[in-house]
Amino acid sequence: MQARGRYLLAGLAACLLAGLYLRPGRRRAAAASPPEPEPEPRRGSALAAGPAEAGGGRRARGGAGPAGGRCRMETCFDFSRCRRHGFRVYVYPARGRLSEPQRRVLRSLRGSRFYTPEPGRACLLVLPLERGPRSPDAPARPPHWNGGRNHLLFSLHRDGPLGFEPGQALLAQAGPGAPGFRPRFDVSLPLFPRRLPQRGGARAGPFPAPRRYLLVFEGQRSPSGLGAQTRAALHNGRDLLLLTACRPGPGARCDRPAAAADDARYDSQELMQNSSFCLVPWGRRLGFFRFLEALQAACIPVLLSNGWELPFSEVIDWNKAAIIGDERLLLQIPSITRSIDHDRVLALRQQTQFLWETYFSSVEKIVLTTLEIIQDRIQAHISRNHVMWNAQPGGLYVLPQFSTSLADFPFYYCALGRSPAKEFTAVIQAASPLLSQSQPIVRLILAVAKSKYCTQIVVLWSCEKPPPPRSWWPSVPVPFSVVEGEHKTMSSRFFPYDLIRTDAVLSLDEDTVLSTNEVDFAFTVWCSFPERIVGYPARSHYWDSSKGWWAYTSKWTNEYSMVLTGAAFYHRYYHYLYTFYLPGSLHSMVDQMANCEDILMNFLVSAVTKLPPIKVTQKKQYKETMMQQGSKTSRWADPEHFAQRQACMNSFASWFGFMPLVHSQMRLDPVLFKDQVSILRKKYRDIERL
């Protein structure tokens, strides 16, 4: 008791001293009132010795907090709601009529992994905005409204103006920098066109090659004013094309109808496809659409965007994908675009493709990005950094809850100037009891343990019988452990056990037959491709147009798109992604069938990397034993097993919204594989021996 008291005392004193010494300015900040009085907010709650709940309660009692216009996350958002159940999102049932974009946003929200049907467990509550006139005082008072606290509103262009004060609700809004935009509180959205797909979205095109036009703009102008002057000053008909259809307005006539006729030769999409830069003027709705269109066409947007809050500008570094100009300096635009060198144009254009594909190509991506931005604010100490948002594979596939350090992910080795550590953990899935020392699993353990890169062997015991004592297992020179999963399911083989500490994981089935040579070679290959799956037996898929579905094949083919995870290297991050990124529906599908977990893993990794897995060479005997031995492998011949895998592929493809698998036509062999030189010169000679 006394000890506890002392700790409490010491803790409080430390808190206080920390508060006083490290951040005296904050104390001032809280007490200050620039330029109008700021409600006495948060300082007290941190230093008050009450429990967290009391702090939250006090604030709620204390009234509404700051007026909505001056909201920041720290003052208008109740973090304690997110602490108990994590970042969960509730969506109110919609009663009125919804606009099409609003409905599509809600669909994506309900389908996301953050969705919860219970408002009590939600950290964020999304209120659908109904169409038509709205009452000026808050939207019909939903049950948990509480001044808008922890609420999110998607205000999309077809919903018309908001019509009421959002209060403390976060506003995800597309539109020009409304004066009320609250930095790091509201989220700026893109205006998305009607034909944007719900999920998936188009893949990026080839590397951009130099294009015919330097800068294009296509739009409307009024006969007088900036539009006409701009055109006159910039258009040269050669590589600067400003095609504006004149639109007579009240009291103004078009004096140059010839120009409009001239312009009709060009198609706007085609222009964008053929130009390096696209002018996107400020403020008009047309400009917003043009912006995404330009991005998609790999045409670098030249934004004249004074005061325009660019989409997701909180996390996206637009300087890497667009030229941001000052609309007052419009006439400098040609010289600016000409001064940008070839290298930079190439980088900018690739970045437009990356951003388009990662954040804007489907409604779901836009919605998820919004949610992830808000989640990053709530968990500021475990949020994505600039690189994670702005480099491959993008923020949606990088979960900071796994790690906030770039070095722990498979994607940034080059950017960090590092290479993967030369060590791996072998994870063996054991489903049948250990009866004799001649079982394949024993031979497998011995062969893998002999690899100089192997630093640990983990057996995942998924057999119903209890695991045998340590003495039954072969003795190996590396740490060896047997893990008995809580749920002996298929998905548990990809659970991110804390035990696995190396970046590389060698995933194995108990009946896999491998030689040390093969393991060593595959591992050195993986070190060159740490973001991919590198393995031995491969499978392929194709589109069966007669049946209208994706077909799975295990025949010997000239190309492959999957590598079986019964014998494959991959980065341990994929365990985490498999477990926490994929939805429960896919996990339970895999568990119920006790099948397809490897297909799902291949889908996931290819969706992240956009690249095929890598097959390395294997001894010929491997395939034969695969077909004969063991309980599991015999299923390969089972037609029902095969039908299941086919069904899995189609379900997975529909969840992803596209087919992420990519074909490869090559296999990696040792440099001297089967070459006409003495076998003694070859490093991986066992691979050739039968």
Partner 1 sequence: MCASAKYNTRGPALIPRMKTKHRIYYITLFSIVLLGLIATGMFQFWPHSIESSSDWTVEKRSVHDVPVVKLPAESPIPERGDLSCRMHTCFDVYRCGFNPKNKIKVYIYSLKKYVDEYGMLVSNTISREYNELLTAISDSDFYTDDVNRACLFVPSIDVLNQNTLRVKETAQALAQLSRWDRGTNHLLFNMLPGGPPDYNTALDVPRDRALLAGGGFSTWTYRQGYDVSIPVYSPLSVEVELPERRPGASVVIPEEKMPEMYSILQSIPQRQIEEMQRQARWFWEAYFRSMKAIALATLQIINDRIYPYAAMSYEEWNDPPAVKWSSVSNPLFLPLIPPQSQGFTAIVLTYDRVESLFRVITEVSKVPSLSKLLVVWNNQNKNPPEDSLWPKIRVPLKVVKTTENKLSNRFFPYDEIETEAVLAIDDDIIMLTSDELQFGYEVWREFPDRLVGYPGRLHLWDHEMNKWKYESEWTNEVSMVLTGAAFYHKYFNYLYTYKMPGDIKNWVDAHMNCEDIAMNFLVANVTGKAVIKVTPRKKFKCPECTAIDGLSLDQTHMVERSECINKFASVFGTMPLKVVEHRADPVLYKDDFPEKLKSFPNIGSL
Residue number, 385 or 432, with CB nearest to partner 1: 385
| Angle (deg, nearest 10), helices 597-609 and 573-580 | 110
Residue with tokens 């006969």: 223
Q: How far is the CB of 195 from partner 1 (least distance, A)?
A: 23
Six-digit token string for 72: 């920041």
Six-digit token string for 270: 């085609």
Q: How far is the CB of 70 from partner 1 (least distance, A)?
A: 6
Q: How far is the CB of 288 from partner 1 (least distance, A)?
A: 18
Residue number, 180 or 479, with CB nearest to partner 1: 180
| Cβ-based burial of 198 (10 A; exposed 0-12, middle 13-18, buried ≥19) | middle
Six-digit token string for 24: 């005296």
Report whether 536 contacts 654 (CB < 8 A).
no
Report whether 424 contacts 393 (CB < 8 A).
no
Six-digit token string for 474: 């072969």
Residue number, 24 or 225, with CB nearest to partner 1: 24
Residue number, 635 or 663, with CB nearest to partner 1: 663
Q: Establish whether the linkage from the previous residue to 35 is cis, with ω within 30° of 0.
A: yes
What's the start-to-end Cα distance of the chain, in Å? 71
Q: How far is the CB of 499 from partner 1 (least distance, A)?
A: 16
**Active-site residue numbers?**
598
CA distance linking residue 285 with residue 266, whole number of Å: 22
Q: How far is the CB of 619 from partner 1 (least distance, A)?
A: 12
Give Cα 184 to chain centroid, integer Å: 20
Six-digit token string for 471: 């003495």
CA distance linking residue 581 with residue 460, whole number of Å: 22
Residue number, 401 or 585, with CB nearest to partner 1: 401
Six-digit token string for 154: 């998607």
CA distance linking residue 532 with residue 521, whole number of Å: 15
CA distance linking residue 84 with residue 308, whole number of Å: 37
Six-digit token string for 391: 């480099």
Residue number, 118 or 498, with CB nearest to partner 1: 498
Residue with tokens 């007026």: 67
Residue number, 299 or 586, with CB nearest to partner 1: 299
Report whether 276 contacts 214 (CB < 8 A).
yes
Six-digit token string for 107: 């669909």
Q: How far is the CB of 156 from partner 1 (least distance, A)?
A: 24
Backbone angles phi, psi at 326, to 5 degrees: -100, 125
Q: How far is the CB of 150 from partner 1 (least distance, A)?
A: 14
Residue number, 263 or 357, with CB nearest to partner 1: 357
Q: How far is the CB of 146 from partner 1 (least distance, A)?
A: 17
Q: Is the dihedral of CA 651, 656, 661, 662 positive or negative?
A: positive
Q: How far is the CB of 386 from partner 1 (least distance, A)?
A: 5
Three-class SS of 105-151? HHHHHHHCCCECCCHHHCCEEECCCCCCCCCCCCCCCCCCCHHHCCE
Q: How far is the CB of 421 from partner 1 (least distance, A)?
A: 11
Q: How far is the CB of 446 from partner 1 (least distance, A)?
A: 24
What are 401-405's contacts with CB under 8 Å, separation 24+?
A: 401/580, 402/496, 402/573, 402/576, 402/577, 402/580
Run of H or E residues at 648:
helix 639-656
Report whether 301 contacts 280 (CB < 8 A).
yes
Residue number, 443 or 685, with CB nearest to partner 1: 685
CA distance linking residue 415 with residue 429, whole number of Å: 34
664 bridge partner residues: 560
Checking DSSP bridges between strand 567-571 and strand 534-535, what pairing results, if any? Answer: antiparallel
Q: Establish whether the linkage from the previous residue to 393 is cis, with ω within 30° of 0.
A: yes
Residue number, 246 or 378, with CB nearest to partner 1: 378
Residue number, 111 or 334, with CB nearest to partner 1: 334
Q: How far is the CB of 94 from partner 1 (least distance, A)?
A: 32
Side-chain half-sphere CA neighbours of 533 within 13 A = 35
CA distance linking residue 454 with residue 478, whole number of Å: 7
Q: In what order do the strands lie in the sheet with 549-553?
A: 549-553, 538-544, 562-563
Residue number, 249 or 307, with CB nearest to partner 1: 307
Q: How far is the CB of 326 from partner 1 (least distance, A)?
A: 5
CA angle 224, 292, 97 (to 5 degrees): 95
The DSSP 8-state label assigned to residue 560 in this structure reads B
Q: Which of 324, 320, 325, 462 is nearest to 391 (CA)?
A: 320
Among left, alpha and beta (phi > 0; psi -120 to 50; other), residue 465 is beta
Residue number, 26 or 689, with CB nearest to partner 1: 26
